[in-house]
Amino acid sequence: MKSRFIILCVMACLMAQLGAANVVIMGNNLTLSFDDIEASFAPGVKASGVNGIVYTAEPLNGCGPLTIKAVEGPPSPFALIIRGGCTFDEKVKNAQDAGFKAAIVYDNENSGVLVSMAGSSSGIHIYAVFVSKASGEVLKKFSGHADVEVWILPTFENSAWSIMAISFISLLAMSAVLATCFFVRRHRIRTDHPRNPEAREFHGMSSQLVKAMPSLIFTKVQEDNCTSSMCAICLEDYNVGEKLRVLPCRHSMFV
C-alpha cells in the first residue's frame, strides 16, 4: 500500500510539469527567459506559442476594472499583474474585460516557488501564467516597449521528460506485479509439496510394505537392536507384550 502511494505521488508531480511553460523577452540584442506555470482555469498555450507586448496593469493587483486599456492589433497586448488582493481568476477576468489577450501574474514575495493559479474557468478565454517576483520586476522594466516582444511558449522538453518518466514508472509497476505473482505462485507450490522427497515417499507407503517390515515383541529395552522405551513416532511408552515394527533407521514404532 505504501509503495502504491509513493508511485501515485510521483506520477502526480510529473503530470503537474506538463503545465509548465516559458516567458521569453526578445528585443534588439536581448533575449531573456523565465520559468512560469499556466493557470489551471485558463486555456492552454498552443504549440506555436503566443507573442505580444507587456503592459503594467492599473491597478497593479488587477483587483478592479483596469484603467489602462489594451492597444489593439498585432502583437497582442499582455497585462502584467502582481499577486494578492483578490483571487487569480478575478485578476485574469479584469484583464480580459480590458481587452488584453493574456495575463502574466507575478509573485509579491521572493519565495522562489511558482504556484499553479486555481480558480473558476467560467467566461475566461485568455491565456494566464504565473512567474516569480524577480521575473515580474524584469518584465515591468519593458512595459509598453513596442520594440520588445514577450513570448509565452510551452515547454516541450518538460513534457517529453514527463512522458518518459511516467512510462518508466509504469514499467516498474508492471514488473513489481509480475514479480509478486511469481513469488506467490512459488510459495504455494512449496506449501502444497513437501521439500523432503523421502518424507513424501514414506507418507505414501502401502500396507504391504508396512507388513513386510520386520517386527518384534517388546519385553524390555534392548541395546543390541536399538529398542527404546517409547515409540519414535508418537513418543508414547511401550507396554510389555506389544508388537512393534522396526523402521529402516532401526527405530521401533507401534504396529
Full domain range(s) for residue 248: 208-254
Query: Cell 509439496 sits at which residue?
Result: 193
The reported pTM is 0.55
In a domain, 33, yes or no: yes
C-alpha cell at 96: 480580459
Residues 227, 221 contacting (CB under 8 angstroms): yes
Side by side, which strands form the sheet with 243-246? 215-217, 243-246, 252-254
Per-residue confidence (pLDDT) for residue 108, from 0 to 100 = 95
In a domain, 192, yes or no: no
The last residue of a domain, from among 94, 128, 161: 161
In a domain, 129, yes or no: yes
In a domain, 184, yes or no: no
C-alpha cell at 197: 522427497
Residues 224, 218 contacting (CB under 8 angstroms): no
Lowest mean pLDDT among 57-61, 64-68, 212-216: 212-216
Per-residue confidence (pLDDT) for residue 3, from 0 to 100 = 43
Task: Give residue-wise pLDDT tens across range 180-202.
Answer: 888 888 878 777 665 555 544 44
The last residue of a domain, from among 100, 135, 161: 161
131 and 230 within one domain: no
Higher pLDDT, 238 or 40: 40
214 and 157 within one domain: no
Per-residue confidence (pLDDT) for residue 227, from 0 to 100 = 60
| pLDDT level of residue 210 (50, 70, 90 thresholds) | confident
149 and 72 within one domain: yes
CATH value at residue 110 = 3.50.30.30
CA–CA gap between residue 181 and residue 102 (Å, rounded): 52
Per-residue confidence (pLDDT) for residue 176, from 0 to 100 = 83
C-alpha cell at 222: 534392548
Lowest mean pLDDT among 35-39, 65-69, 223-227, 230-234: 223-227
In a domain, 23, yes or no: yes
Per-residue confidence (pLDDT) for residue 5, from 0 to 100 = 41
What is the mean predicted confidence (pLDDT) over 206-214? 74
| pLDDT level of residue 171 (50, 70, 90 thresholds) | confident
CB hemisphere CA count around 203 (13 angstroms): 7
In a domain, 179, yes or no: no
110 and 15 within one domain: yes
What is the mean predicted confidence (pLDDT) over 69-81? 88
In a domain, 126, yes or no: yes
Any idea what the Cα angle at residue 13 is, between residues 8 and 15, rounded to 5°?
95
237 and 126 within one domain: no
Number of domains in the chain: 2
129 and 33 within one domain: yes
Lowest mean pLDDT among 73-87, 97-111, 178-192, 224-238: 224-238
147 and 42 within one domain: yes
In a domain, 171, yes or no: no
